[in-house]
Amino acid sequence: NNEEYNQALKWYVEAFSQGKKSLPAYGAMDCCWRLDRFAEAKLWLTVAGLTKGKVDDASAKILPNVQVSLRALRQTCKVCDIELNSDTRKLGKGCEAHC
């Protein structure tokens, strides 16, 4: 159900801002994968918004790590973990999935 995934996505984004990065990053990307690309874009905009002076010192220290984790997840196929070409966003050889 999309409503449940939207709620989960909000929870994961809140977890980002509290310094938890690994599990929330994977959970958020899973929610986005099940929702659609619009949800993924919304996630990226939310995380980017956290970096524009809206966070305290403790959160500001972990945000670069969150962004690195998200970027790493974004650069791999969600099915087989093969790296995507960062310029074309196309799948590498050997993967039959559609990301």
| pLDDT band with cut points at 50, 70 and 90 for residue 25 | low
Residue 90 vs residue 10, higher pLDDT: 10
Tokens of 78: 């969600």
Contacts with 80 (C-beta within 8 Å, 6 or more apart), sequence order: 95, 97
Identify the DSSP state of 52. S
* pLDDT per residue as tens digits for the range 51-69: 555 555 555 565 666 666 6
pLDDT reported for residue 17: 66
Question: Which tokens belong to 19?
Answer: 């310094």
90 vs 19: which has the higher pLDDT: 19
Mean pLDDT, the chain, whole residue set = 62
Residues of the chain with pLDDT > 70, as a percent, come to 12
Q: Assign residue 33 a region (left: φ > 0; alpha: ψ between -120 and 50; beta: otherwise).
A: alpha
The DSSP symbol for 14 reads H
Tokens of 88: 């074309």
